[in-house]
Each structure stands twice: as C-alpha cells, then as structure tokens.
Amino acid sequence: MLINVIKKPEEENFKGLTKTQEEKLVRYAYTAYNKGYNYTFEQIKGFADNPSYIADDNVLAFYKYLNGEVTLDSIKTRSEDRAEDKYDSRVADYIKEIYSKLSGSLSNQNSDGIFNKFDDEVPVKANEYRTDHKNDFNPPLIPFSNRTFLVTRVKDLLDYYKTSPTFFKTHFAKVFTESVDTFDTQKYSEMLVDLSYAYIGSNLSFTSSIDNSFFRSSVIIKDIPVEMVLAFFVQESRLLPGSFRAEISSNKNIYAVSFGLAHTLIDADFLEIAAAHDDIGNNDAGGRNFDIISSRYLGNTAKQKTYFSDYDLLTVRGSLLYSSIFMQLLYQKLITYKDSF
C-alpha cells in the first residue's frame, strides 16, 4: 500500500506512564471493552484482577507480542472463547452476501481477489456523503519507523492461525468462498498495519452535541497505541475480516451481533435478514455501540442506518473507525485513574 503523506505519528502513545501503568491500562481498557463501559473503575479493576477472568491477560500477551517483548510460541496457547452456540449459519450467509456486494457493484477499490471484499472506504453505501467526508473517515497512510517489524509480527501470527486448527482457519471457510491456503498473509499484514497507523496517527476528531461521563462531546484519536488496537483485534476476531458472534439470548433469539475485526456490537434489527426471521431482532433497533457511535459522531440518525451500516463493520477501515473512537473514549475514562493503577 502506498505511503502518500510525509508525516510521522506519535509513537509513544502511553508517554508518561510507567511500564506497570501501561500494562494495567491495556488490561483495564479491554476489560471495559469486553464487559461494558458503564462499569465504574473499581468494578472494571475487580473484573480484570479476578484470576478466573483471563481475556485481559490474553490481550496483554498479544500486546507484548506485537511490541516484541514475548515470542510467538508464548501466545499460541492463549484460549479462544468461540463456543459454537455463538455461530449462526444465517448470519454467515448474510455476511457472504454483503461481501459479494462489496466486491461487486459497491466496490470502489482496486484490490485484487479476496482483498476487494473488505478493502473499501467508509461509509460504503453512501457515495455523496462519502465524497463530502472522505478525509474525515478515511485518513491517508503515513510512514512510521517500525513498520517492517510490526508487519512481520502480524504476518507470523497470521501464518500460524492460517495453518493451525484455530478460529481463523475454521471461521474463514464459513464466510469466504476462497481457500484459506491462498490467503496472502504478507499483503494482508501490510494492509492491517498501514491502515491501523493511518487511523491511530491521524488525529481524527469527532464531536457530539451530547456529553456525558463516557461519550464525550469531543473525541480526538491520539492516545492509543497501534499495538493495543491490533491486540484487541487478535482477541476479538483473530484478525479475521468477516468475523462475527451471534449474541444469542436464553430464549435462543438473536438480539445483537458482533461484527468485524473489533466485533463491534450492532443491534440485530439493523440486519437486513431480521425481517424474514422472527428470532432475529425484536423490532426495536438501536442502543448498541454501532448505533451510539454512528449517531453521535459519524452522522447517522439515531436508530437508522442513514450513512453507516453493518456493511461498514465488515471492512478493515470500518472496524478501525469504530474501534479507534471507542478505545479513545475508554482511554479518556481510565487515564484519570492512572494513580490508582
């Protein structure tokens, strides 16, 4: 991917934190991401420090791997929370249908083969709005000093996932018609790393008329390290575009779905297949992270897919846009407690 802007992002995003504070911030941020942003700091810390909760430890291990602090062998055994009851073939078929559109009439990129399915600018379904806000949502690529090192780290991890009986390999076949054996991990690693640095180093700014203790009136993407974003992606999706979890309730209804690299939570009523299935959605869209972020920061009308849709969450840029906003909000919440780390 072409580096086309000569500027360098801040590469020490956790500047001023001790190593211990940095590692705890990564763990607490993921815990809030996973458990719920509305919990108090004390509750988040309690979850993370509970020995039975290991997801935050996984993320820290991935973060340290991406930083070069630990080896690939040391993270291969990290558990995968991917129970089969979170899989629904109708959702997989729906994702396949979306990808056929993103590599067909909706595609505006020139990527080859499978990469054309998820290498699109966002929002993918609104050409005029996208033209007006191209730079707001699709920052240009930027150079950075440790690109080769980080690309190699990501590629080595993907090569392991691609050839081993992991979630990446098994789920790949459920959402793509291409063979995982032909998936170019070098090209994809470059895409992931370059686009991650583009978003994290862009100082993208978003404003909202609503200001509360978490969803602030102003969000500037500037404090979170690329390695933390990628570590979250590894934990959530094993870096697989098209990854999803069906959030199935006790009565077996699907009220929400987690989509994309970041598994951004979207209300099931937003899915176009909801109208055809009584057990998908409950005719009350909204209230999940997708709707909140879209309507407060990205221009959507609340409870509507005005410009952004579930399609965007299945692109690399869409995953980065939503997750970088959310992670920055988590950082803003947690950093005020750094002296209590």
Q: Is residue 303, in this structure, part of any structural domain at all?
A: yes
List the helix and strand counts (H, then E) for the chain.
Answer: 13, 5
Q: Is residue 2, in this structure, part of any structural domain at all?
A: no
CA 145-149-155 angle, to 5 degrees, is 135
The token duo for 53 is 């909760």
Q: Is residue 98, in this structure, part of any structural domain at all?
A: yes
| Confidence at residue 198, expressed as pLDDT on a 0 to 100 scale | 96
Q: Is residue 221, in this structure, part of any structural domain at all?
A: yes
Q: Is residue 116, in this structure, part of any structural domain at all?
A: yes
Q: How many domains does the chain have?
A: 1
Q: Is residue 323, in this structure, part of any structural domain at all?
A: yes
Q: Is residue 8, in this structure, part of any structural domain at all?
A: no
Range(s) of the domain holding residue 325: 19-340
pLDDT tens digits, one per residue of 44-84 = 999 999 999 999 999 999 999 999 999 999 999 786 655 44
Examine the pLDDT at 22 and tell me if it is beyond 90: yes
Q: Is residue 28, in this structure, part of any structural domain at all?
A: yes
- Given a contact cutoff of 8 angstroms between Cβ atoms, the answer to whether 233 and 158 are in contact is no
Examine the pLDDT at 253 and tell me if it is beyond 60: yes
Q: Provide the pLDDT confidence category of residue 7 given band limits of 50, 70 and 90.
A: very low
Examine the pLDDT at 9 and tell me if it is beyond 70: no
Give me the mean pLDDT over the 280-290 stretch: 93
| Confidence at residue 127, expressed as pLDDT on a 0 to 100 scale | 87
| Confidence at residue 14, expressed as pLDDT on a 0 to 100 scale | 81
Examine the pLDDT at 258 and tell me if it is beyond 90: yes
Of 149, 110, 242, 240, nearest to 188 by C-alpha is 240
